[in-house]
Structure 1
Amino acid sequence: MRRQFKSNWPLYAVWVTIFISTVAITCFYGSESSSFYGIAETREIVANFESAVEIKRIGVTEGQSVEAGVLMVELNSPELMLKINHISHQLDQLRAQKGVDKSEVLSRLRQLKAEKAARENEIENQISQLENQYRINQSLLSGLKSIPSGLGEESHATNSPMALKIKNLKKELSLSVHPLMIQIELLQKTLASLEDPVKIQVERLEEELSLLQEENSKLNIYAQISGIIGSVNFKPGEKVSPFSPILTLHTKTPSLIKGYIYENAYSGIAMGESVTVSSLALSDHSISGCVVGIGGRIVEYPVRLRKHPDMQVWGREVVIKIPGNNPFILGEKVLITSSVEGTGFADKMKRLFFPSESMADVNPTGQAMVETSTVRSVVPLETGEIEASAMLYLEDIDRYMLLSDDTPGNAPLVFLMNSDGIVTKETTISGLDAIKDMESVAQGEPGILYIASSLNTGNHGKINPLGNRLVAVQRQGERFSLLGMVDLYSLLKARAEQERGADWAEFVLGGMAERSLDLEGMFYKEGALFLGFKAPSLNAHSVIIKISDIDSAMGGQGLKAHQTSIWQRVNLTCADTPTTERISDLLYVEGILYITGTPLVKKGGSRSGSLWALDAQTGIAKRLVSFKALQPEGIAAGKEKQTLMLCFDQGRNEDSKLSVVKVNQ
């Protein structure tokens, strides 16, 4: 036995060496996957303008610290001033032309009236003289005894030259005055018609001039947050093309860390995990952060993080949110250490060969080809948190319009977010005082948006007028202004009471009686607005109501008979998961209706949801993607219509989340 061991000892030595090497490699990669490098970055705000402008004055310099609300740049728009001058000139011409035309017509009218009066006076004087002479002659004839009484008067009255002349003069008076009266009537009509078109045109130009002057008064750029000027790209007097970056502003300290994990050393880091971020320059500088994004693709390492700058290295991005009061310098290289429990040998082996699972599962039975990216968090501005409720892609400015169902003081806030989930601007809808519980948004005709409240009575069962609003909004670039507003709750109730017995009316009135009416999704098509209700349900089906010619209803005319109907009843249930989901948002794009659904759960219950596609031929909804621990609240199609962005509302204590789903039908 001893001889056999001695003869095989080289083989045993090889096995021991392999085992030790395996342990070393595993521990090395385990440490690589739990500790990695990153760069301290910040959210950068780019200041630009939607039309061509000229720099009038720049009040800041690169590296300068500014407070929120400080005037940074004054602009001048030659194009805008040209429009203002052109419209002002048009108004002056119209007003002058209006005065000239009116004075000419009035002058001609006075002339004709004077001519008519003179003609009438002349002929009436002749008639008066002849009638006086006629009466004298009659009195003389009546004194002659040779003429029988009565015969002479009658014969003279009908046959005398003087009587015939009087008769002819009266005819002449009528014939002379009649053409003048016709001309006078025509000029009076001309004068009346002259007022209206010019008045309408003047009012339209005055309104347009007012809007341009208001726009001209906004040719100033103010600091949206307190921070530091990053770069100033122009000088006073230079001209700037539309949407060109004029300057950049970033926070005083880094707000996030972007780290990279080597592609062959996948880490078990998960969304929401706590990590430690340490400075490489000063070892005592460290802070806790939270993972808010994990890249769904392999990208090239930045040169700064490579051990050998000439060698290409590839890995996954990890985005970490850190508190604002951190000790790091912008652009500083840092070390990120995962605090995941279970770093023993077995755990490291498991994490090495079995990366963490995705938070989204593709439905294997669906006919659609679906790819989902890893979920990441919305990164808001310093002004506050966002409870994402609806979103819409604005192609002309390459931004996602994001709504929150809870805003400070029910302010009509609109958040503009880039494709990385970073909110670049926060603005309001001018002209709208307040709105509560914004849950859906739809794109109407070009430049027109519709935003609706949920119509939900809330936990206390009380109807809040601010939560019943449907508003039409005019959008120009990054500016939003109110076009019209109606109380949608009252609008539906009034029409439903008049159409009792109709299926849609019974649905609406039943939901109002139960205090369960909950509008969550909306889309616009061919002049009609389609409303998707989360509650109540009809035989476990979510209901989509169609309101045709929505603009007439928004115009204060109310809903007419047969203008409202149930368009679709949707069953969001699959055999593998018998839990029924309800509509949380709608998106109609390129003939396909996408639906996000969530189950009805009690407060504090587990969150989940799915993305569905409605088969137009069968009316059956097919699940494309299901989400674990996530509740989809909004959906929008990106620049590529097959790329869908979903937002998730995780409540007040968690950041809203985002995910990209690519669908190829």
Structure 2
Amino acid sequence: MRRQNKGNGGLYAVWFIILVATVAITRFYGLESSNFYGIAETREIVVNFEGAVEIKKINVTEGQSVEQGMLLVELSSPDLMLKINQISHQLDQLKAQKGVDKSEIQSRLRQLKAEKAAKESELRNQIAQLENQYKINKSLLSGLKSISGNGGYGNAEGSSPMELKIKSLKEELSLCVNPLAIQIELFEKILANSKNPVKIQVERLEQELTLLANENNKLNIYAQISGIIGSVNFKPGAKVSPFAPILTLHTRTPSFIKGYIYENAYADIAMDEHVNVASLAIADRNITGVVIGIGARIVAYPERLRKHPDLQMWGREVVIQIPENNHFILGEKVLITSSVKKPGGVEQLKRLFTPSESVADVLLACKNFLFEEDILPIIPLETQGIEASALLYLKDIDRYMVLSDDTPGNAPLVMLMDSHGRITRETAIAGLEKIDDMESVAEADQGILYISSSLSTAKNGKVKETRKNLVSVQRQGNHFTLVKTIDLYSQLMTHAQREAGQPWADFILGAISKKNLDMEGMMYREGSLFLGFKAPLMNKESVILKIDEIDCAMETQTFKPHQISIWRSFSLIPGKGQLQEGISDLLYFKGILYLTGTPLMKDKGSRSGTLWKLDEATGTPVCLAHFNDLQPEGVASGKEKNSLIICFDQGHKTKSKTCKIKVN
């Protein structure tokens, strides 16, 4: 009995040691879930130029501190100068030709007027002399009784030779003067209209010269922010290809922290959570940051952040925004502490021995397996938020065009974003004063883009004039210029009233009557524009309208009979028990129509949505991925092969986000 107890005591000791080790490990990973490491990083601006240039002068060196507005680089473009010289020469020629042509026409006109006056005066004098002679002869003959009648004077049947002569001279006057008058009138019209063709050419060339002069002014590149020069990649005299990075500029202090949280503890961090960021090098140097991004996959820890460099660790990336007035050094290693209370020991033990999932909680595959990349926040140039509503990849400049449905003062702003979610440029559409609630963009032919407002009713029950329009825009590189504007809302209503009884017309008229019209998706295909409506539904189905010959409609500012029709209608219900969705964007990519949808009725404070693929043979939408806590507003083709980029609008208080998805 004693021996048995002794044997059991040894077993109990072993179990006790295992329990202590387990608790220690649990506490260790509990600490890891509350405290994790990161690296202080910053927003970097890449200085480049959209055309081939030559470096004239570089005014900064690597590591130099610069202030906003300081001249960084002076460039020269031989091609640009050649164009400017050619247009200036053409202008000089046109202006000189304009003066010569006008002088020649005026000289010929004076000559014709003088010739007409001389001819008219000569013939009128002859006619006046003959008429006087005729009167004298007639009065003399009237006193001679021996001559019967008037002797041929004044008789209509037997006109005298003098009368015939007068009549002949009057006809000659008409025949001679009228052609001269016609020529004078013609030359006067030529003189009046001769200014127009030359004037139009002059104005066009002057506008082109102004644009080229503006481009020439951009050859001097100034610092967009105050900061520090990172790298200088060229020397004076070097020739640089388009969009090649000339130098980089970053802020003086880090603007965000990239941390990594252990894979079995990644659920312990949440979006918009406040965390404490502390320096490991200097005591009492800490600051409060906000979580603005959580990676959607498990990745390997950087070697620098591993406790044991030889031991591989896996976790989830966390992006934390920190105030600009911080004392951290770029690249500094920091300790991040979460302020949220963590689960107890039982939950930690359960989590410790439960395999982690590599698919983000926010993305659920519906039918087709999708491989997802990080969900990144869109980082704006300035402090104002972005409510991303539409997305388009511009291959020639390797940038994503981002639209926001809310801009300061309804300005027509276009933002260009790199593949890391950073807005590198913000520009206005030249020639367009205002546009409200931009919700969709479609790329047509020859650099033309179509951008539309939602056509939706405001909270006051009215549709704003700035929310009714469809605009066509000419894009050249990263410059956008208005081509045409059409009041799409009014034209749809007017045309629908003319074609009342047609399914599409009844759909539009019903939506306008109920004030629930909301158009958020758009695509261009073979000369036609397709409009995807989030609301209303037609027979419980989402609707896509097709407008044929959209270019002609933009030019004439009206629609022709039977130009509009319903192209597709279908129901978007992700799964059993889930809310029905309306269309939030359209994308025709490699022969397949992709669309995003968001719920028609939203739960307060929650956001969700789905990526769909339309089977054109059956007209049936196929659910590809459903997003929890994310509202997909735009979809575009990605930079990589067979990839899509989706942007999410999280409201004005939270940063918009993007993610990359692989499709077959």
Q: Give deviations 1:141-183, integer Å, cap 9, x for gaps.
A: xxxxxxxxxxxxxxxxxxxxxxxxxxxxxxxxxxxxxxx99x9
* Contact in 2 for aligned 1:54/1:75 (Cα 8 Å): yes
Alpha-carbon distance change, 447 to 271 in structure 1, aligned in 2, over 3 angstroms: farther
Match of 1:294 in 2: 295
Alpha-carbon distance change, 523 to 313 in structure 1, aligned in 2, over 3 angstroms: same
Match of 1:45 in 2: 45
C-alpha distance in structure 1 between counterparts of 2:200 and 2:470, whole Å: 30
Match of 2:530 in 1: 530
Match of 2:342 in 1: 341
- What amino acid sits opposite 2:295 in the alignment? I
1:312-351 equivalences under 5 Å are 313=312, 315-316=314-315, 318-324=317-323, 325-338=325-338, 339=340, 341-344=342-345, 346-351=347-352
C-alpha distance in structure 2 between counterparts of 1:594 and 1:51, whole Å: 34
C-alpha distance in structure 1 between counterparts of 2:352 and 2:15, whole Å: 24
Residue 490 of structure 1 aligns to a residue in which SS?
helix
Match of 1:601 in 2: 601
Match of 2:571 in 1: 571
C-alpha distance in structure 1 between counterparts of 2:513 and 2:370, whole Å: 41
Higher mean Cα deviation, 20-29 or 440-449? 20-29
Residue 221 of structure 1 aligns to a residue in which SS?
strand
Residue 460 of structure 1 aligns to a residue in which SS?
coil
Alpha-carbon distance change, 189 to 597 in structure 1, aligned in 2, over 3 angstroms: same
* Contact in 2 for aligned 1:586/1:593 (Cα 8 Å): yes
Q: Give deviations 1:316-338, integer Å, cap 9, x for gaps.
A: 45132232133312211112334
Higher mean Cα deviation, 252-261 or 612-621? 252-261
- What amino acid sits opposite 2:449 in the alignment? L
Alpha-carbon distance change, 603 to 414 in structure 1, aligned in 2, over 3 angstroms: farther
1:263-274 equivalences under 5 Å are 267-272=266-271, 273-274=273-274
1:357-436 equivalences under 5 Å are 358-366=360-368, 369-436=369-436
* Contact in 2 for aligned 1:373/1:661 (Cα 8 Å): yes
Alpha-carbon distance change, 109 to 382 in structure 1, aligned in 2, over 3 angstroms: closer
Residue 630 of structure 2 aligns to a residue in which SS?
coil
Question: Is 1:92 the equivalent of 2:92?
Answer: yes
C-alpha distance in structure 1 between counterparts of 2:519 and 2:261, whole Å: 43
C-alpha distance in structure 2 between counterparts of 1:416 and 1:340, whole Å: 39
- What amino acid sits opposite 1:332 in the alignment? E
Higher mean Cα deviation, 64-73 or 579-588? 64-73
1:431-470 equivalences under 5 Å are 431-470=431-470
* Contact in 2 for aligned 1:266/1:352 (Cα 8 Å): no
Alpha-carbon distance change, 347 to 262 in structure 1, aligned in 2, over 3 angstroms: closer
C-alpha distance in structure 2 between counterparts of 1:84 and 1:312, whole Å: 62
* Contact in 2 for aligned 1:270/1:291 (Cα 8 Å): no
1:72-83 equivalences under 5 Å are 72-83=72-83
C-alpha distance in structure 2 between counterparts of 1:226 and 1:100, whole Å: 55
* Contact in 1 for aligned 2:435/2:466 (Cα 8 Å): yes
C-alpha distance in structure 1 between counterparts of 2:111 and 2:650, whole Å: 81
Q: Give deviations 1:186-206, integer Å, cap 9, x for gaps.
A: 999999999887666555433
Question: Is 1:650 the equivalent of 2:650?
Answer: yes
* Contact in 2 for aligned 1:528/1:550 (Cα 8 Å): yes
* Contact in 2 for aligned 1:359/1:374 (Cα 8 Å): no
* Contact in 2 for aligned 1:301/1:315 (Cα 8 Å): no
Residue 296 of structure 1 aligns to a residue in which SS?
strand
Residue 601 of structure 1 aligns to a residue in which SS?
coil
1:21-36 equivalences under 5 Å are 21-32=21-32, 34-36=34-36
Match of 2:623 in 1: 623
Paired-residue identity, %: 59
Q: Give deviations 1:13-43, integer Å, cap 9, x for gaps.
A: 5555555545444544554455433210011
- Report the CA distance between 1:519 and its aligned residue: 1.1
Residue 370 of structure 2 aligns to a residue in which SS?
strand
Alpha-carbon distance change, 607 to 119 in structure 1, aligned in 2, over 3 angstroms: closer
Residue 521 of structure 2 aligns to a residue in which SS?
strand
* Contact in 2 for aligned 1:227/1:252 (Cα 8 Å): yes
C-alpha distance in structure 2 between counterparts of 1:409 and 1:193, whole Å: 43
Match of 1:612 in 2: 612
* TM-score for both structures, normalised by structure 2: 0.81
Alpha-carbon distance change, 221 to 431 in structure 1, aligned in 2, over 3 angstroms: farther
Higher mean Cα deviation, 538-547 or 315-324? 315-324
* Contact in 1 for aligned 2:414/2:428 (Cα 8 Å): yes
Q: Give deviations 1:188-239, integer Å, cap 9, x for gaps.
A: 9999999887666555433322321232233333433343333444555554
* Contact in 2 for aligned 1:486/1:554 (Cα 8 Å): yes
- What amino acid sits opposite 1:589 in the alignment? F
Alpha-carbon distance change, 61 to 252 in structure 1, aligned in 2, over 3 angstroms: same
Match of 1:355 in 2: 356
- Report the CA distance between 1:74 and its aligned residue: 4.3
* TM-score for both structures, normalised by structure 1: 0.81
Q: Give deviations 1:246-303, integer Å, cap 9, x for gaps.
A: 332222321111224567x66434441444322110132223331513152535725x
Q: CA RMSD in A?
A: 4.7
Match of 1:552 in 2: 552
Higher mean Cα deviation, 399-408 or 344-353? 344-353
Q: Give deviations 1:323-361, integer Å, cap 9, x for gaps.
A: 213331221111233455115254144145343662344
Residue 396 of structure 2 aligns to a residue in which SS?
helix
1:173-184 equivalences under 5 Å are none
* Contact in 2 for aligned 1:548/1:564 (Cα 8 Å): yes
* Contact in 2 for aligned 1:261/1:267 (Cα 8 Å): yes
* Contact in 1 for aligned 2:521/2:533 (Cα 8 Å): yes
Residue 335 of structure 1 aligns to a residue in which SS?
strand
* Contact in 2 for aligned 1:532/1:543 (Cα 8 Å): yes
Q: Give deviations 1:73-112, integer Å, cap 9, x for gaps.
A: 4443332111100122233345556666888899999999
- Report the CA distance between 1:435 and its aligned residue: 1.5
Match of 2:640 in 1: 640
Residue 531 of structure 1 aligns to a residue in which SS?
strand
- Report the CA distance between 1:446 and its aligned residue: 3.2
C-alpha distance in structure 2 between counterparts of 1:292 and 1:423, whole Å: 16
Q: Give deviations 1:500-530, integer Å, cap 9, x for gaps.
A: 2222121111111111111111111122211
- What amino acid sits opposite 1:591 in the alignment? G
- What amino acid sits opposite 1:268 in the alignment? A
Match of 2:583 in 1: 583
* Contact in 1 for aligned 2:486/2:557 (Cα 8 Å): no
1:86-125 equivalences under 5 Å are 86-96=86-96
C-alpha distance in structure 1 between counterparts of 2:35 and 2:228, whole Å: 31
- Report the CA distance between 1:44 and its aligned residue: 0.8
Higher mean Cα deviation, 486-495 or 254-263? 254-263
Alpha-carbon distance change, 641 to 518 in structure 1, aligned in 2, over 3 angstroms: farther
- What amino acid sits opposite 1:320 in the alignment? V
- What amino acid sits opposite 1:537 in the alignment? L
- Report the CA distance between 1:647 and its aligned residue: 1.4
- What amino acid sits opposite 1:481 in the alignment? T
Alpha-carbon distance change, 210 to 342 in structure 1, aligned in 2, over 3 angstroms: same
- Report the CA distance between 1:113 and its aligned residue: 12
Q: Give deviations 1:541-594, integer Å, cap 9, x for gaps.
A: 111112222223323532222222221112112553453111111111122111
C-alpha distance in structure 2 between counterparts of 1:583 and 1:19, whole Å: 55
* Contact in 2 for aligned 1:256/1:319 (Cα 8 Å): no
Higher mean Cα deviation, 430-439 or 513-522? 430-439
Higher mean Cα deviation, 274-283 or 13-22? 13-22
* Contact in 2 for aligned 1:258/1:317 (Cα 8 Å): no
- Report the CA distance between 1:535 and its aligned residue: 1.1
* Contact in 2 for aligned 1:291/1:320 (Cα 8 Å): yes
C-alpha distance in structure 2 between counterparts of 1:313 and 1:476, whole Å: 48
Match of 1:592 in 2: 592
Residue 538 of structure 1 aligns to a residue in which SS?
coil
Higher mean Cα deviation, 504-513 or 16-25? 16-25
Residue 537 of structure 1 aligns to a residue in which SS?
coil
Higher mean Cα deviation, 265-274 or 205-214? 265-274
- What amino acid sits opposite 1:488 in the alignment? L
Alpha-carbon distance change, 484 to 217 in structure 1, aligned in 2, over 3 angstroms: farther
